[in-house]
A and B are shown apart, each in its own frame.
Chain A
């Protein structure tokens, strides 16, 4: 052994350490990869050695390589080895490596549970600290569940260093294991007032993080945070709290009113910019939540805007950026106060910093009005011209379009101007946003009827100059515009002044270089244009030949498109070519065809709002979910899986034969189809609603005489089309002048008309500007009786959703300790109640729990003498409770005691405190005073706004009478709190002691059932923990589970419960191995050595340990004899004790709940590899779903399908055997047909199922 160590340290001298590795990599710049791969080989060798120092060194190097992007997951086990070293130096390396590369699917993580637990309880605070830090990075749901209790204990550690880490890591635990939130919350709250500022800050951090996601559950903490805010001097904590208030105010406007003053004071007093900025932000949030009512707001807004202006004007770019960011928040509710700083924001557009320019752009978006839109866009167009990088220019482009099109073109008064802006934008080189411009053009041209003539003229110009857009391959993005141009010219061709030349432009050979989808539109719209041209030409009888020439033009040009590689283009072109040829033939026979050709494209397209279809109300009496035809009773279910979903949306009849058998599935399928259909219709802009007036009114033919097309001077880059601005201004002037004239006529004064006078536009109010054209959305585009529904759905995958837990509800007794077990994925039919630990699943608690009643009853017993008072108190609490639920009306319920269980006083006090604090107390100048007031509402202020009564002051100390004061230095309030907490602990202990006997408590039990009556028959409580052995000192309960990861392992979880009044320590768990099953012992341990249980048990405490067994054959059940030895330590003596037990490995424990889809299940049965067996159970009186739940729960099956009183179930053994059950029930007889590829296993499983049901 000694030699080994010496050899190891000699080895070490030649090993590379991290520094050598780094240096080596730097020296091998050319062949870095090769060098690293040799290094990895060396590391692999080092990891094989026994010397932990060598291993740690290797792991340290791996951490470095991981940073460079090398996957080091293969060394995960070695990392665990280093983590479990007893030396801090190595442990730290191990945990660092683990925190860098472990994640939820790292399988060795499950091996670390005990090691981490050991480290957490290490006497060395840095071992604990390092474990906590590491755990914070790789905590998994399993680890969180298993270690939650240990971490909770650490929250009250004597060292603040550990406390703060434990508090902080609780957030991660909550995320992974939401059930722990309620039990842990009281302690977390307590830490808000920890004497150590670091712990306090950590608690604030965690609660802020929680509250940010589900603010409403944390409103009751507002007074506490308010106190902290006014007393704390730690800027970091202040910032967090102020940010939290920002999240809370939208829920409680009264809170906002209270906050304004202290926040304003802080804004005035603080020198820290970060704090100032967050204060301003929260004041803004408050103002938003108050948005109306208080008169003093303008002062606060002015203050904010003023401070922000200072930030924006600062030379520090960071402050400038943040100032703009905050400004955009004010903008939403108080646009006027921001608009006065337009100069400043426009100035920011010139900033050299792109982030700042983008922020300024965002602000501009909200600042536009009808009055200044043109001016702002004009400025932006100048910037577009100057912008260098394409990203920023593209951003400008989208912003211009966003600004103009926002809220349904609300601010556009002149659409001619807008169209010309869009046309200008097409001159941008290399933009990616061609399609955006195109969709705007289409949108405006379709929806603003009055603009069509103008739009068509502009588009015709565009088409004519198409070569300028397509000349450069770099400009590819912009040619999308031609798509819109061609379509507009074709669809609204009646507005074209010279359709023939446009037609010619559309058929130029160059067009063939455009992308396929654009060519397709060109071809189709060429046909539309052709129809228009024909109509015009036939109107003038002299031009027969001209008409024929037009046909010839198409016949000449279309073959180019017929040859297109794009199918769509090809198909359309050849169709139209043949059509034109036919028309030409008719023309040669002097037949009038124009009317018929035009009829091809008759009908006007009406715009339809995107959500129109969704908003059509369902007529009364129509059930969309009902079958049109009865579903056939029989069908082949196998087909269902293969059927492509969503394809047969409208073809219900066709899918009739493949309809699935069960209505459950049908409904899902139907819902899916409906979704698909809705989505399809919503996305289809051309989904036309039926309209009685859909016939197009033909206009008289437009002459062919040549009208000069407006040529836009393309050599001048991006000229803002001033003529429209001028025109618009003139129009406005005229409007105004007209108005004035009317007014002035009365006074017989002369009105000025038609002249531009800049001074006049100043006082002009918004309402005075009437838009030239209306956008018709709400009137025409929506169906009649449209339902106003905008349902936004939350992301179902958000982990924070699970943390939306009501924390104000008092903890039920069962909840006061953390649930310990459940180490398998939730099963479909799992019982909601798990009586092994007397634990209730959290959602259950939202109902009025019977346990609460029990609580109350106990209270009553204890305080029989104070019955009167108590009743009164309960009544008042009841009233408050209802009030807390949102109503301001005091509810007087005479027999509230019978109706619902009033929660214990502590939490209601808080709820009432909040109301009281918010509604009644004036903001005192001294914050401490405020806190005091909120703590102890005295009898002299009996009537709050809501008419609440007041808690008798002696009720609280009453509860805490049997505890002794602990911390004399702390405030009175804190003492109380501690007392309460202490008492809770006491109760918890008591409960723990008795929790296995809960069900014998008759009254409590009854009320549980009463509480559940309205529910569907509840499942009976179930547990897999069976009594293993028991004596007067200790009780062992155990559960045996197969190991998912390893086919030859079984995990035995044992709960040790200390039943005596003494300390139990040095527990050693040992089992006599059989040939087939062996207890896994750590390396180096002999085959008969026992395993040390990694914890000690104080009196009345229980804890769980896991032991891994390796199993070879799983066909037969097994029994193993074992012994637990332990030391019972009393004050004066300690004795060695032992307890024998027999571990029973049933075949069931080798099964693992595995979900199985029905099609896979059917295939499995069809395969014929499985051998059958069956079982009949007589006299089973429990409901079928109970029966299934039992099989699922106790025997690890999952339900594949259930139809009526028949269900198919599936499970898999750890070695991969499939076990299938078909369970049928009729008249208290249950028959189980089973199939499995291992008959021995199956027989034993069936026997065990039988046993389960014979026991109940």
Chain B
């Protein structure tokens, strides 16, 4: 099966397994507490009901009022500061739900707003995250140079370590700040920061909901907004470093497959183009195909390029034994193509009148057209891949 399909199926199975395992663990951790809590609350509500002789109907009335008043009790939610807070939770997809549009117009605008805002924000965070990664890599490089270290290259491991510690410290800074302002424990504040910056946003803990903070404490409000946006950038930078390459893997494999197919068809075509050119041109060794005719125009240009390509492939093939020990990974895959191409050429030895000393050169002329590009391309691809895997 194609690599991309295997990869996709494996990911689907992994995710389902992950969900099942998570469900089982959450069940084990929370179920008992839930039943205990439920019983406690039942008892309490029953106590209050009895105290005030409340019927089920009246109790439901009270319930309704209390629940509806909850966001209002937390403060004015839709003045500018609150709306800005809400807008942030929409386009970053955090979505606490501490305030949600109650008018239908608000709901419609919310959907349209999210439709444009979410991609914009995704691209913005990734863009900024990539800039930060590049800057950090540059800084680290300079630091390594200053410290006089032997190899001043910044490896992927370096970057991942720094990224990881940046994330942890961002969470800790936030936890410290919010535990102070919101009077939460450090652990609960850390949990809040984590749930916020991963954009899960349960809404069980929400900042700026106490003591009318949205209206009365502009500095704290500003800090919260800046914290959320900066924190998301740091997390985004880490994701850009570690996860983004995996999101484009399938597409890149598809592209590479398409290019291989294109090269193979071009190889077939080019061989047939080349034969008439050689036959018609003067048998001078140096001119190769169709150079003098000029009438071929673009086709001649192409043929000439392929000439050089085939030369490259011949050299490549000859030096394979040398290369094998320096780049073992590249050789088997790429040279299999060049081998077949070179073999093809051996079957038609009569075309070129070159001397034996140039035989490799001559025979490779017609053949291995794609092998070089494949060879070069896969080398470049390999390097690109290596670069991609190992660099930022």
Query: Do A and B interact?
Result: no
Binding site for B on A (CB under 8 A): none
Residues of B within 8 A of A (CB): none
